[in-house]
Structure 1
């Protein structure tokens, strides 16, 4: 396979030669044609499902899991962490076991799934910080439970979101970190001391900072400032245009710098669904015409996102003025570093996982033309 495009950092026209699923050469070329941009496949560490399928659903099947995973190729996503949110132990165990079976069944799925993200159930009980997570399934930190879930996943849990005020959090965090599970602070109402203790124990990330929070906070101190001002914490943000105002995104970006931000779409299981009201676990959620996913009956309280990482990149560039290359790093290199995995890279000798696209900067959109994974065209055509 030979692909001609403009390299996403330099904008230099190049020809990428693919052999045996790997990048064999990247050669600069002269071209008078208008070529698309080429960049490494995206990696999102927080995706809850797609098309009505939730990875944390006790009714998840291998077929539904594979269908939900494959759908992400159309958005330039070649790697992700299926994310399971607060639920009963039985539902979580089933979700992780099904993901393991899906990865064992299909080699492409095993390559796409770099790990799993457990978001909860060790989070705040308060309305606001708890977000859309079910109150009756929130519980104290339980290392034994995580070990059993890890076994069900085939050792795929690589990231866990918790609230530092959850009983037993510091010791629990240390156990996780010592066993290869990165810890993120999220869905929390923790005070300054509790956040400091979590960082001292090994927490390194903030989950969708600025969301999963009270509608009104004291001006200072508060748990957003405490995390934003902590240099040991990288901040993941949902830059989809709905979750955070542009001024907040800019403030987070300028505070943390390009290396301290991780972009995630936090796509819910309703991403890709038609607008309307949908039932899940006895609760009603609504996909609005704008693409927002909310708790049904109002338009303010969100329940995950309805768009994917490509939208977050384009919106990040528009909101902050950062370069396309820097935004791309926030959705590849940065999340891979924080979760200790290897994502796609546009380099000789690396797996051929890349995406061809056009960047419509005037309208803050990316148009994915083609996605290549492991040297195979998995979306689009030449």
Structure 2
């Protein structure tokens, strides 16, 4: 019997290695990719998060260079997911992204990031309400990549207009938002209402979204355009302890919850895709074929 494989569109780090580290070495990245392969992950999008634009450029360039030097890294890292810096600055919506580097979307900065990524950008996550007249969304939608809404709070009409302009995905729906929301008109309900026009991504660790809620979301969204991501950081496939994600100091306890030191908000996950798959089967009532579809087939189609 063939082993189950996975494609993960949002990986900040793995096996003790932070992809956003300014001292990321060839040895460190090779180690991380080797563990991903052992864990049956056939490919990922290495995710670069919000920082100063020159810092994000340097991190992308470093990943490009290391990928060019190592066949294993090139095999596993299929491209990049740029998450930020054009995100909502509203409390709760920015998540763990550093507030000081969040900014209004603009095409010049976006071009700088894309150039640094050397044609390997597959997904850009941004807040539609931070993109005046959707200039960046329109620019990106013509670049053969996914424009994903995330860490955002557009009203329903704004979200629909952003979809018309080129938004085609939603990043880790159910997260990147405050824990307490208006009971009806909130970003989760708005995105679900637009499900026919969006790929919807979810984290299936049971922490970011309780399993009962994920069951509800999947009943509404179906599996045709649903994708499971890990949003993993360095603690995935690594023991509890203290880690870094970019400039953030994080702590992972025995409960596997990733938090900023001294804070309650989540900051990525310590979940693996194999655990996500098992959770879908054991806790979310997915069949094996459904779980395979949303952990491998759909994300593979999204980056093909």
**Which TM-score bucket, shorter chain as reference?**
over 0.9
- Report what 1:48 is aligned to: 12
Determine if contact 2:14/2:237 at 8 Å carries over to the other structure.
yes
Query: Is 1:272 matched up with 2:237?
Result: yes
Distance 2:145 2:133 in 1: 14
TM-score (norm 1): 0.75
Shift of residue 219 of structure 1? 1.3
1:260-282 CA deviation, whole Å, 9 max, x = no partner?
21011110133234323345555
Alignment partner of 1:229 out of 193, 199, 207: 193
- 8 Å Cα contact 1:84-1:117 kept in structure 2: yes
Q: What is aligned with 2:281?
A: 317
Distance 2:131 2:117 in 1: 25
Distance in 2 (alpha carbons) for counterparts of 1:223 and 1:325: 29
| Residues 148 and 316 of structure 1: CA distance in aligned 2, closer, same or farther (over 3 Å) | same
Q: Is 2:265 the partner of 1:301?
A: yes
Name which of structure 1's ranges 56-65 and 149-158 shifts more when overlaid on structure 2.
56-65
- Unaligned runs of 5+ residues in structure 1 are 6-36, 342-382
Aligned pair count reads 303
Aligned partner of 2:123 in structure 1 is 159
- Structure 1 residues 183 and 132, CA, compared in 2 at 3 Å: closer, same or farther? same
Q: How many Å separate the matches in 2 of 1:51 and 1:186?
A: 26
Corresponding residue of 2:136? 172
1:98 to 2:55 alignment: no
**Residue deviations 1:244-275 (CA, integer Å, cap 9, x gap):** 11121011111111112101111013323432
The structure with the larger Rg is 1
**Given the alignment, which residue of 196, 208, 215 partners 1:243?**
208
Ranges in structure 2 where 5+ consecutive residues have no aligned partner: none
Q: Which of 96, 106, 109 is the equivalent residue of 1:145? A: 109
- 2:217 paired with 1:252: yes
Look up the SS of the partner of 2:197 in the other structure. Answer: coil
Residue 198 (structure 1) aligns with: 162
Q: Which residue of 2 aligns with 1:116?
A: 80
Asked if 1:290 corresponds to 2:255, the answer is yes
Other-structure match for 2:95: 131
CA deviation profile, 1:86-127 (whole Å, cap 9, x unmatched)? 111222112211111122112232222221100111001012
Distance of aligned partners of 1:142 and 1:63 in 2 relative to their CA distance in 1, 3 Å threshold? farther
TM-score, L = length of structure 2: 0.94
In the alignment, the residues of structure 2 paired with residue 216 and residue 180 of structure 1 have an alpha-carbon distance, to the nearest angstrom, of 36
Q: 2:37 aligns with which of 73, 97, 101?
A: 73
RMSD: 1.7
Distance 1:97 1:317 in 2: 38
User: How far is the alpha carbon of 1:57 from its aligned partner?
Assistant: 2.5
Give the SS at the match of 2:44: strand
Say which SS state the counterpart of residue 331 (structure 1) adopts: helix
More helix by share: 2
In 1, the alpha carbon distance for the partners of 2:296 and 2:268 equals 20
Q: Relative to 1, partners in 2 of residues 1:169 and 1:253: Cα closer, same or farther, differing over 3 Å?
A: farther
Once residues 266 and 279 of structure 1 are traced to their aligned partners in structure 2, the CA distance between those partners, rounded to angstroms, is 14
The separation in 1 between residues aligned to 2:236 and 2:3, in whole angstroms, is: 25
Q: Summarize the Cα distance change of 1:79–1:210 in structure 2 as closer, same or farther, 3 Å threshold.
A: same
| C-alpha spacing 1:280/1:47, structure 2 compared with 1 (3 Å) | closer
The question of whether the paired residues in 2 share the 8 Å contact of 1:273 and 1:287 is answered with no
Instruction: Give the SS at the match of 1:204.
Output: strand
